[in-house]
C-alpha cells in the first residue's frame, strides 16, 4: 500500500491509474479505524479498481471546546487494517498540507445554505458540516475519485454530502454503507474508546432504543412522535445517558417527518458520560 503524505503524490498516482482506465474509489476517514471503516474499504474494493483512503483528523469540523486534540490516533494500526482490506493508497497529510495558511483553517469554505446542516447535529455543532463539506470537497479535488464511500451512522453527513455533490456537479457517485455494530449492538465508533466500562454498558441504551423504534414501526406505528417519545423514555431511564436529540426527519432533506411515509431517518445523539454517541435507523415506507 502506498503511503502518500502530499497532495502532489496523490495526484500523480491517481493520474497514472486514470490513464490506465481504472475506476478509483475514495474512503474518507479521520483514522483510528475500526470494522465500520473496514466495511467501507471492503465495499470500495468490491466496486473499484483502486481504493484510496484518507486518514486526516480535520480541524475545521471541530468546534471550540470539542475533542480535536483528544481525538484518538494510531496511524500504524490504521495502515495495517487498510492494507489487510485491500486499500491501494492511504493519504495521510499534515494539517499544513491540507490548510497551508498554517493555522488549520482557510479563507474559502464550502457550505450548504439550506436548513440541512442546521438541525440534528448542527444544533450543537453549528460549524461542523461547513468543515466536513470543505474537507470532503478538498479530498474530492485532490483524489478525483469516481466513487466515494461514507457510513450511514453519520446519516446527516451522508445526506449533506450527497446534496453538495449534486449542487456542485462533482460527478462522483456517493455510496452509503450500513452501520456496523459490536456483537452487543453498540454502533462502532472511534469515540467508543472514550467510554469507561460502566459507560460502555450504559451506551447500549442507544441500540436498544433503535430496536424499540424499529419494532414499533414493524408493529404498525405510523406516528414518528410516538416512536420518538418511546425511545426518549427508554434513553432517559439510563442514568448515565443524556439526550442531545432524538428526531425523525425526511432522509433526503432532513426536514421534520410527522409520519413514516417515504424515507424517514430516526436519528439520535446521546451523551454517555462526556462522550457523544450517534445511532439511527431508516424506515422506507
Ligand atoms: O466521517 C468522518 O470521519 C469525517 O467527517 C470525514 C467524512 C472523514 C471528513 O473529515
Q: Is the dihedral of CA 2, 181, 44, 137 positive or negative?
A: negative
Instruction: Look at residues 60, 57, 38, 55 and name the one whose alpha carbon lies nearest to residue 92.
Output: 55
Q: 280, 263 in Cβ contact below 8 A? A: no
Taking only the tens place, the pLDDT of each residue in 137-150 is: 999 999 999 999 99
pLDDT score of 87 = 99
Taking only the tens place, the pLDDT of each residue in 7-16 is: 999 999 999 9
Closest residue by CA, ligand 1 atom 1: 29
Taking only the tens place, the pLDDT of each residue in 249-282 is: 999 999 999 999 999 999 999 999 999 999 999 9
136 CB within 6 A, ligand 1: yes
As given in the structure block, the three cell numbers for residue 200 are 460502555
pLDDT score of 259 = 98
Instruction: Look at residues 40, 153, 68, 56 and name the one whose alpha carbon lies nearest to residue 99.
Output: 56
For residues 87-96, average pLDDT? 98
Q: 244, 149 in Cβ contact below 8 A? A: no
CA 136 – ligand 1 centroid, Å: 8
Q: What confidence tier does 105 reach under pLDDT thresholds 50, 70, 90? A: very high
> Using CA atoms, how far apart are residues 224 and 221, in angstroms rounded to an integer?
8
From the candidates 34, 37, 85, 128, give the one annotated as an active-site residue. Answer: 37
CA 14 – ligand 1 centroid, Å: 21
Which residue bears the cell 474509489? 25
Q: What confidence tier does 73 reach under pLDDT thresholds 50, 70, 90? A: very high
135 CB within 6 A, ligand 1: yes
What share of the chain in percent tops pLDDT 70? 100
Alpha helices in 60-127 (DSSP H): 75-84, 95-98, 121-124
Across the chain, what does the average pLDDT equal? 98
pLDDT score of 37 = 98
Residue 34 appears among annotated catalytic residues: no
CA 129 – ligand 1 centroid, Å: 10
Q: What confidence tier does 110 reach under pLDDT thresholds 50, 70, 90? A: very high
DSSP 8-state class, residue 180: -
pLDDT score of 174 = 98
CA 122 – ligand 1 centroid, Å: 15
Taking only the tens place, the pLDDT of each residue in 26-62 is: 999 999 999 999 999 999 999 999 999 999 999 999 9
pLDDT score of 207 = 98
Residue to mutate (ligand 1; options 132, 140, 164, 176; most atoms within 8 A of CB): 132
Q: Is the dihedral of CA 236, 240, 245, 248 positive or negative?
A: negative
Amino acid at each position: 500500500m502506498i503511503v502518500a503524505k502530499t497532495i502532489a503524490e496523490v495526484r500523480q498516482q491517481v493520474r497514472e491509474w486514470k490513464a490506465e482506465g481504472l475506476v478509483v474509489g475514495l474512503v474518507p476517514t479521520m483514522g483510528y479505524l475500526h470494522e465500520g471503516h473496514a466495511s467501507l474499504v471492503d465495499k470500495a474494493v468490491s466496486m473499484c479498481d483502486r481504493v484510496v483512503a484518507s486518514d486526516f483528523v480535520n480541524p475545521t469540523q471541530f468546534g471550540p471546546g470539542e475533542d480535536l486534540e483528544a481525538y484518538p490516533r494510531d496511524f500504524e494500526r490504521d495502515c495495517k487494517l487498510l492494507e489487510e482490506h485491500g486499500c491501494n493508497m492511504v493519504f495521510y497529510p499534515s494539517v499544513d498540507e491540507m490548510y497551508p495558511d498554517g493555522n488549520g483553517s482557510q479563507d474559502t469554505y464550502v457550505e450548504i445554505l439550506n436548513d440541512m446542516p442546521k438541525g440534528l447535529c448542527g444544533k450543537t455543532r453549528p460549524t461542523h458540516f461547513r468543515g466536513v463539506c470543505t474537507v470532503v470537497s478538498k479530498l474530492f479535488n485532490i483524489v478525483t475519485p469516481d466513487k466515494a464511500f461514507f457510513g450511514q451512522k453519520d446519516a446527516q453527513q451522508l445526506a449533506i454530502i450527497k446534496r453538495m455533490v449534486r449542487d456542485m456537479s462533482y460527478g462522483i457517485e456517493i455510496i452509503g454503507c450500513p452501520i456496523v455494530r459490536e456483537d452487543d449492538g453498540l454502533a462502532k465508533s472511534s469515540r467508543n474508546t472514550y467510554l469507561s466500562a460502566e459507560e460502555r454498558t450504559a451506551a447500549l441504551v442507544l441500540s436498544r432504543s433503535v430496536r424499540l423504534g424499529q419494532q414499533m414501526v414493524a408493529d404498525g406505528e405510523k406516528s414518528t412522535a410516538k416512536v420518538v417519545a418511546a425511545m426518549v423514555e427508554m434513553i432517559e431511564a439510563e442514568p448515565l445517558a443524556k439526550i442531545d436529540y432524538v428526531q425523525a426527519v425526511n432522509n433526503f432533506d432532513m426536514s421534520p417527518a410527522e409520519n413514516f411515509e417515504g424515507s424517514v431517518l430516526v436519528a439520535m445523539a446521546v451523551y454517555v458520560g462526556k462522550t457523544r454517541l450517534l445511532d439511527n435507523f431508516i424506515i422506507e415506507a
